[in-house]
């Protein structure tokens, strides 16, 4: 069943078009990654889904209900990129108050305490929000979005300003929510992290959808991957690998290692040790890269067309 569906969703601000003809489909229970450069239109699209911004034209539906209607809004928990708080309140009082405003079922205080524990904010529960760090505020915003057990969570850069422990905590919470049937629509600039837990992904470039679908299919669109090779003589290794039939491009990184782009990663991985050995070169290490970040860079370079 579909949780998010948009048809020709467009937003114009005078002569500036922020989002153009966006068609999206996100199934219930999926974690959907929404990826694009700064200014690509991600936040505007999210705001149209929540009803905070009215489309210039096009349609959006949340669980079958028109976006912006009360029926649709009740299904959504939203954490914006730059959340605002009542800073004189404590974290516990803030979540309790927001739960009461949202008419959360049951005890709002108990729900607030549950979320504070889940997001490792219990020790700061009775501190004023104005004393929270950026990472703590980010976790508090995600907790607010989760207050009403929404069917859909829309999260704009939820792990920004978080340390590795904080990011892991957010990701664990999101994954547990999908086990309970929650749909999550999330943007993040930490693409290597995002690809570890999303099911589907959309790439947005200059307000338009470039590609969208299951993560495995989107990543296989180019088949290009990178290997970082450190050999006993990287100058010779770079010249050698540039002649290999499966290699598209050879470069060097800041550490002097050889960076190889290939459209035959499996073949290259098998051939590499022997090729270096035949040239009397030692292989110190090899790291295989690629994935969502590599695909994103390809899209920025050429619009995603192969």
pLDDT at 305: 45
**Mean pLDDT of the region 55-75:** 97
Percentage of the chain modeled with pLDDT above 70: 94
Sign of the torsion angle spanned by Cα atoms 66, 71, 73, 74: negative
Give the C-alpha separation, 198 to 218, whole Å: 12
DSSP 191: H
- pTM, two decimal places: 0.77
Q: How do residues 8-61 score in pLDDT, each as one tens digit?
A: 999 999 999 999 999 999 999 999 999 998 899 999 999 999 999 999 999 999
Q: How far apart are CA 52 and CA 46, in angstroms?
A: 9
Beta bridge partners of 212: 202
273-279 mean pLDDT: 94
β-pairing, 247-252 with 258-262?
Answer: antiparallel
* Sign of the CA dihedral with 180 first, then 186, 188, and 190 last: positive
pLDDT digits (tens, 9 = 90+) for 122-169: 999 999 999 999 889 999 999 999 999 999 999 999 988 788 888 888
CA–CA distance, 154 with 49 (Å, rounded to integer) = 9
Structure tokens at 132: 């929270």
| Segment 229-266, tens digit of pLDDT | 999 999 999 999 999 988 988 999 888 999 998 878 77
Residues 225-289, CATH architecture:
2-Layer Sandwich (3.30)
Q: Where are the domains of the chain?
A: 2-214, 225-289
Q: Quickly name the fold that domain 2-214 has.
A: Rossmann fold (3.40.50)
Q: Confidence class of residue 172 from pLDDT cuts 50, 70 and 90?
A: confident
Q: Which of 26, 24, 22 is nearest to 2 (CA)?
A: 26
């Amino acid at each position: 069943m579909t949780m998010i569906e948009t048809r020709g969703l467009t937003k114009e601000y005078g002569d500036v078009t922020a989002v153009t003809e966006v068609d999206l489909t996100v199934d219930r229970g999926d974690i959907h990654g929404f990826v694009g450069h700064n200014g690509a239109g991600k936040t505007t699209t999210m705001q149209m889904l929540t009803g905070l911004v009215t489309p210039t034209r096009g349609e959006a539906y949340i669980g079958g209900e028109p976006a912006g209607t009360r029926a649709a809004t009740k299904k959504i928990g939203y954490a914006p990129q730059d959340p605002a708080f009542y800073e004189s309140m404590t974290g516990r009082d803030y979540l309790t108050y927001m739960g009461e405003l949202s008419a959360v079922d049951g005890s709002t205080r108990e729900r607030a305490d549950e979320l504070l524990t889940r997001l490792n904010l219990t020790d700061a529960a009775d501190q004023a929000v104005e004393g929270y760090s950026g990472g703590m505020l980010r976790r508090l915003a995600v907790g607010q979005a989760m207050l009403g057990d929404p069917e859909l969570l829309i999260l704009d850069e939820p792990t920004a300003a978080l340390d590795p422990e904080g990011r892991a905590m957010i990701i664990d919470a999101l994954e547990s929510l999908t086990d309970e049937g929650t749909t999550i629509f999330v943007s993040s600039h930490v693409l290597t992290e995002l690809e570890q837990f999303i099911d589907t992904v959309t790439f947005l470039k200059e307000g338009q959808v470039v590609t969208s679908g299951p993560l495995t299919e989107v990543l296989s669109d180019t088949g290009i991957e990178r290997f970082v090779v450190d050999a006993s003589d990287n100058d010779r290794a770079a010249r050698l690998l540039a002649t290999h039939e499966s290699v598209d491009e050879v470069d060097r990184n800041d550490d002097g290692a050889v960076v190889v782009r290939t459209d035959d990663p499996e073949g290259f991985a098998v051939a590499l040790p022997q090729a270096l050995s035949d040239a009397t070169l030692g292989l110190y290490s090899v790291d295989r890269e690629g994935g969502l970040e590599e695909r994103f860079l390809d899209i920025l370079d050429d619009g995603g067309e192969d």
